[in-house]
Amino acid sequence: MGTSLGFHIVFAVLGVGLPALLVIAEGLWLRTGDEVWLGLARRWSRAFAILFAVGAVSGTVLSFELGLLWPRFMAFSGSIIGLPFSAEGFAFFTEAIFLGLYLYGWNRLTPFQHWLTGIPIALSGAASSVFVVMANAWMNSPTGFRLDAAGHLQSVDPLAAALNPSTPTEDPHMLVSAYVVTGFLVAAVYAAGLLRGRVDAHHRRGLAAGMVMATAAILLAGLTGDNSARFIYQGQPAKFAAMEGLYQSQRCAPIHLGGIPLDSQQRVVFAIEIPCALSLLAAFDPNAEVRGLDSFPADARPNPVLVHLSFDTMVGLGTLLGLGSLLFWLVWWRRRGLPRLLLWGLVLAGPASVVAMEAGWFVTEFGRQPWIVYGILRTSEAATSAPALGATFVIFFLIYCVLAMTTASLLLQRRA
């Protein structure tokens, strides 16, 4: 399941971000008549065709796996959070329909009609992400239902479940992250092209388009992420303690930059400590109390090593990417040539943004452990006992490897 998700998420974010770029590029072509924009739109639409197909089928696997691997989870929560899933189904439906029109409609529709069919793809792509993350947000802040004394579901308010307290912070952060990853991946492809000596308008324009999206989105990602972290401080203190590697509850809590949390010593080693900064950031008050891991029973603590390192990876890479994109625009405007070192940096920024996103996903998922539904249902209670699980896992893992390699090679081939 984790593998499927980790795989699917890369295609999913491109499904959110690429259509937006497509609509912009094709729109610019319609306005200016500049063939370079049309060339970019056509390139991206072919890449998108492959990415969307692989994303769609891996998404189908996920929807099945929810039931196959987590029967207890789905039996419990299906009726509560099925609603955003169904809504996502419709968003996805819309996306698939207009994708068909867009990809195969170049010679059946007028250019303006064709451009119009791109808009629902971009909108429904974003909507899918919003709906799916609503379901995940519910796992972090389960609301909208009542249990009786025996733990049976009494009544359900699916709308309240969908609009749970985590939704307003988690959803925007995931959505802008999708644009971050798309922007940097697109930019990386064109930076690589420029490095190989293909210095033309097509590559420069592609690079700039990717970087515009990436820069705008990474700044928003910082804002929404900060907002999200402050919510987690309130709503999921155990996750927050693990993210920050904070063992002891304290006032004037420090921030640990980097370092490795050591359970045996109950502290973070090799970290740069900034005194009181955590309290200040989380509550705007340097003397605010932050709960440490010690305030939770041992069987209700997430693994601080994994969560803290993932969190720092996300924040560290995010900061680097943000600074890097500002640097890029400085160079872009001051002189028209781009130094090779900067291009190499942009090539690396593509994969780095994927790593940052996956690390963020790790934070939210592993930070919630040992719960699958925070405070309600433990992961160990929800998993299936079906046989042959290992074999299924290996087979899907291999299939995903082959698909990922083929997709990558096809996409890169076409650029060449």
Partner 1 sequence: MTEAGVVAGILWLALAAYAVLAGADFGGGVWDLLATGPRAAGQRRAVAEAMGPVWEANHVWLIFMITGLFTAFPTAFGRLAVALYLPFTIALTGIVLRGAAFAFRGHGRQAVGPASPWGAIFGGASVITPFFLGCAAAAASSGNLATWATPYGFLVGAFAVAICAYLAATYLMVETEGFPLQADFRRRAIGAALASGVLGLSALVLAPALAPSLSHALTGRGLPLVILAVVNGPLALWAVWRSRPRTARVAVVAQVLFVLWAWAVGQWPYLLPPNLTIDAAAAPGGTLNALLVVIVIGMALLLPSLYLLFRVFKGGQDSSPPGGEVAAKLAEGDGVSHERRTGTRRR
Contacts (CB under 8 A) with partner 1, residues 366-385: 384
Nearer CB in complex with partner 1: 6/89: 89
Instruction: Examine residue 30 and tell whether it contacts partner 1 (CB under 8 A).
Output: no
269, two tokens: 């080693």
Considering the complex, what minimum distance in angstroms separates the CB of residue 372 from partner 1? 16
Q: How many CA atoms lie within 13 A of 373 on its CB side?
A: 23
3-class DSSP state of 196: coil
Phi, psi at 146, each rounded to 5°: -125, 140
Using the minimum distance from each CB to partner 1, give the nearer residue, 107 or 265.
107
Q: Among 10, 12, 25, 61, which residue interacts with partner 1 (rule: CB under 8 A)?
A: 61
* Shorter beta-carbon distance to partner 1: residue 159 or 298: 159
Least Å from the CB of residue 357 to partner 1: 22
Q: Please give the Cα distance from 324 to 286 (Å, whole number).
A: 30
Provide the minimum distance between the beta carbon of 54 and partner 1 in the complex, in angstroms, as a whole number.
5
Residue 12 exposed, middle or buried by CB count within 10 Å (0-12, 13-18, 19+): buried
Q: Exposed (0-12), middle (13-18) or buried (19+): which is 82, by Cβ within 10 Å?
A: middle
Encoded one letter per residue, x for contact with partner 1 by CB under 8 A and - for no contact, window 63-82 reads xx-xxx--x--xx--xxx-x
Q: Give burial (CB, 10 Å; 0-12/13-18/19+) of 286.
A: middle
- Binding partner 1 by CB under 8 A: which of 12, 99, 232, 349? 99
How close are the terminal C-alpha atoms of the chain, in Å?
34
> For residues 250 and 292, is the Cβ–Cβ distance under 8 A?
yes
Nearby residues of 15 by Cβ (< 8 Å), 6 or more positions away: 48, 51, 52, 55, 95, 125, 128
Query: Would you say 104 or 344 has its CB closer to partner 1?
Result: 104
- Amino acid code (one letter) for 298: A
If binding is defined by CB under 8 A, does position 104 make contact with partner 1?
A: yes
Query: Pick from 122, 140, 236: which is nearest to 179 by CA?
Result: 122
Residues 6 or more apart whose Cβ sits within 8 Å of residue 166: 137, 138, 140, 141, 231, 235
CB of 382 to partner 1, least distance (A): 12
The residue within the footprint of partner 1, chosen from 86, 266, 319, 380 (CB under 8 A), is 86
Q: Single out the segment in contact with partner 1 by CB under 8 A; choices: 108-116, 248-256, 327-335, 356-364.
A: 108-116
Amino acid at 201: A
Q: Choose between 44 and 179: whose C-beta lies nearer to partner 1.
A: 44
Q: Is 2 in the site for partner 1 (CB under 8 A)?
A: no
- Distance separating alpha carbons of residues 13 and 108, to the nearest angstrom: 29
Helix, strand, coil shares, percent, the chain, to 5: 75, 5, 20
Residues in 155-214 that interact with partner 1 by CB under 8 A: 155-159
Q: Residue 260 forms beta bridges with which residues?
A: 269
Q: Which stretch binds partner 1 (CB under 8 A): 95-103, 233-241, 325-333, 367-375?
A: 95-103
CB of 29 to partner 1, least distance (A): 10
Tell which one of 28, 88, 328, 361 touches partner 1 (CB under 8 A): 88
- Cis-peptide into 111, omega within 30 deg: no
Which span (86-94, 184-192, 271-279, 308-316) binds partner 1, by CB under 8 A? 86-94
Print the binding letters for residues 124-163 with partner 1: x by CB under 8 A, - otherwise.
-----------------------------x-xxxxx----
**Exactly one of 15, 59, 261, 292 binds partner 1 (CB under 8 A); which one?**
59
Q: How far is the CB of 31 from partner 1 (least distance, A)?
A: 15
Tell me how far, at minimum, the Cβ of 293 lies from partner 1, in Å.
35
Does 54 contact partner 1 by CB under 8 A? yes
Choose one: 84-92, 214-222, 336-344, 358-366; the region binding partner 1 (CB under 8 A).
84-92
